[in-house]
Amino acid sequence: MTALGELTRPWQAMSYGFLDPSAKRELRRAMLKAVAVPGCQIPYASREVPMARGWGTGGLQVTLTLVNPGSVVKVIDQGADDSVNAVSIRQFVEKVTGARGTWDTQEATILQSRHRIPEEMLREDQILVLQVPNPEPLRPVQPNMSVARQMHADADYGRLWLVLYEQIVRSGRIMQGASYPAMVNGRHVMTPSPIPRWDLPKLNMSRHLTLLSAGREKRIFAVPPFTRVEPLAFADIPFRVEDHASLVCHRSGVTGFFMNEIPQTGGDSRHELSDSHFGIKAIRRAEGEAVEIGATWYRNGAMT
């Protein structure tokens, strides 16, 4: 006779990857929908995870659903792998999945990021997971989610162009910083999450899949590989990335990439590479180590 114990698995404190299978199934369905309709926000239930909302819980749920023990996971916050919250997320993913963590963009299979896309180009076998605080590009012109949903259905985006136009009238140029709105696949306007404008062209016709997930706001959207991502702009006033092309990293001597500005006591400022591990690799190579640095999206400060 079969003992009851043989029919069940031993009790475990949590499922593999923390989320239970029903949560993962729901997320997979939402991700597939998001890939099928690029840029369209797909609602999902969004489980509580052992991290505060607004701290990458949406990205974390996607990562935990995609990950397997063979995955290599890179987590960055503002471009840095050792930023405190990035460390916390990477340690959690390693702990509950057995996946290996890495700082190296080239080596990672899943890259979870807050507010940056690495400078080295991503390949088709890599997935970028962007943490999204506010998934709704229409929020500043329409804070009501149900009305905004209707506006997306109608492709009613005139008020976004109006905001950009007002900026030009009032300040002489487009003042939008990060979270620059972009038309995806010619149909849905999305916010690319608060990545700098520098990173937005990296999403256009890229080889990798990008999943954008807002845990608190319970929305997921995607930019599939080889999908058009066009920043909103005017025929006579084109989209411009940050004016960082000529800045020099004071640590690595590298130039032509997005930089952090570090104010100095003398009143001036120094700059350092925002993609911290890219900077580390550049320093190591300069010191004579054999370090492999991948092809970058930008060359000589211009998008390739």
Site for another protein, residues 113 to 172, rule: CB under 8 A: 114-116, 133-134, 137, 139-141, 143-147, 160, 163-164, 166-167, 170-172
Binds another protein (CB under 8 A): choice among 39, 58, 118, 181: 181
Q: Smallest distance, Å, CB 225 to another protein?
A: 25
Q: Cα–Cα distance between 124 and 121 in angstroms, integer?
A: 10
Binds another protein (CB under 8 A): choice among 57, 65, 97, 105: 57
For another protein, the closer CB: 78 or 255: 78
Binders of another protein among residues 84 to 103 (CB under 8 A) are 84-88, 91
For another protein, the closer CB: 57 or 105: 57
Q: Smallest distance, Å, CB 219 to another protein?
A: 8
Binding pattern for the stretch 62-81 against another protein, x by CB under 8 A and - elsewhere:
---------------xxxx-
- b/e map 24-61, b = 16+ CB within 10 Å: bebbeebbebbbebbbbbbebebbebeeeeebbbbbbb
47 counts as binding another protein under rule CB under 8 A: yes
Q: Smallest distance, Å, CB 117 to another protein?
A: 11
For another protein, the closer CB: 124 or 155: 155
For another protein, the closer CB: 123 or 255: 255
Tokens of 187: 């149909």
31 counts as binding another protein under rule CB under 8 A: no
Q: Cα–Cα distance between 176 and 159 in angstroms, integer?
A: 14
For another protein, the closer CB: 23 or 151: 23
Q: Cα–Cα distance between 227 and 204 in angstroms, integer?
A: 6
Count other C-beta atoms under 10 Å from residue 242's C-beta: 14
Q: Smallest distance, Å, CB 59 to another protein?
A: 13
**Binding region for another protein (CB under 8 A) out of 63-71, 121-129, 273-281, 294-302:** 273-281
| DSSP per-residue string spanning 25-70 | HHHHHHHHHHHHSTTPPEE------SS-TTSSHHHHHHHHHH--TT
Q: Cα–Cα distance between 128 and 114 in angstroms, integer?
A: 11
202 counts as binding another protein under rule CB under 8 A: no
Q: Smallest distance, Å, CB 141 to another protein?
A: 8
Cα–Cα separations (whole angstroms), residue 299 to 104, 159, 270, 271:
20, 35, 22, 18
Residues 6+ apart with CB under 8 A from 87: 75, 81
* Residue 200, φ and ψ in degrees, nearest 5: -60, -45
Binders of another protein among residues 230 to 269 (CB under 8 A) are 242-244, 251-252, 258-261
Coil, strand or helix: which one is 222? strand
49 counts as binding another protein under rule CB under 8 A: yes
Please count the residues of this chain forming the interface with another protein, following the rule CB under 8 A. Answer: 87
